[in-house]
Amino acid sequence: MVRAGASTVTDALTDLGPQSSFEPLVLRGTQVPADPDLSVCILVLERAHLALDCLSALRRPGGCPPGTEVVVVANGTPQDQLMDLAALEDIVLVVNRENLGFAGGCNQAASLARAPHLLFLNDDSTVEEGSIEALVRAASNEPAIGAVGCRITSSNGTLEEAGSVVWRDGSCAHVGEGLPSTSNAYMEPRDVDYASANGLLVTRRAWDAVGGFDERFFPAYAEDVDLCLRLSAHGFRVRYEPKARLVHLGSQGTSRSYREFLLARNQQKLVEKWGRALDRFEPPPRSFSRPERKAALVRAINRADPGADRVHPEDANCSPRSESAVPTHEIERLREDYFSFLEQRAVRQDRRITELETYIAGLWSVQLRCWVASRLEQLRYRVAPRRH
């Protein structure tokens, strides 16, 4: 598609008409490689400046390897936030009028990406030097490796995740969460139950085998857990690579209560989808006592990769999500609000479909009238009296 400037983007968004809800605007910059080795997929919501910072980190020496394609999906991003992104010649910009959710946006990016490796990256994250190359190397070691995740730290240096474990009830725990920046724990690569989608590299072969993210987890959370479970079910391994380091600002656009609601709701969806298949995982700790939590975590880590160096209880650390759970009545209120939102969204979508059908019907009626007029003219000519 021909590259458009900022003003063209505005005009194009304005002139899309009823089809705009169904057909995204795709702008491919002139500097995007035609045959990339890696495609980085980034979603943007309402804060485009986060994506610009993320892209700046990718451009630094040791950021993206040569031959990298970057696909940025603007998921319902306001037009005034799109101008700076539209001016970039080294990205593929996809503009959606509405938020397709994390899974929907990532699936859309992957469908447009051209590389054999897909790297999903949050817009509020910064990759450190050499991290992407470490992910690609890890994914290329064995054909059975389908996905590789990063060592994720927060902006203050504390560890957020060194791979994650899945519990039998569908809840999860990030290994090492809360450890100080000086900690050298979990510095060996290993197989894991799952790795968060932020900084997750998936091979195209594995991605195609499982069909991408499940969009039923709209708008976000647990779709990465589900993806890794499906990769494992298809015989692929999910790997944690400590040399791939990522700094994450964290939940910039989501309130704590809404995030907790989505986690609780999508955990239930995960259980409904996988059922007894979750029995192979360890049960979650029955109490918040530190020794019991550590013991359960050690069992889960060692079960995920029996061949790796054994993790000992004194080295284990995680912060269970249950400790920060929102009260039940708040969850129920948010659930009602969410279903109300879905109903309104469905009504808006139905209205757009009706408008599109009316538009198409109008086109056909015009063509039909033209055809009838043409036929009548032919008939008039045939029956008109001839002059001798």
Domains and CATH numbers, the chain: 1-122 (3.40.50), 124-255+271-324 (3.90.550.60)
Give the span between the Cα atoms of 278 and 266, in whole angstroms: 15
Q: What residues form DSSP beta bridges with 237?
A: 145
pLDDT at residue 355 in the model = 66
pTM score:
0.79
Per-residue tokens: 307: 């061949």
Per-residue tokens: 206: 């594995």
Residues with Cβ within 8 Å of 49's Cβ and at least 6 positions away in sequence, in order, are: 84
Give the span between the Cα atoms of 325 and 251, in whole angstroms: 16
Give the span between the Cα atoms of 187 and 241, in whole angstroms: 8
pLDDT at residue 382 in the model = 61
Per-residue tokens: 247: 């700094």
Closest CA to 218 of 341, 87, 82: 341
Q: What phi-psi label fits residue 36: left (phi over 0), alpha (psi between -120 and 50 degrees) or beta?
A: beta
Residues of the chain falling short of pLDDT 50? 1-7, 17-20, 314, 320-326
Q: What phi-psi label fits residue 313: left (phi over 0), alpha (psi between -120 and 50 degrees) or beta?
A: alpha
pLDDT at residue 2 in the model = 38
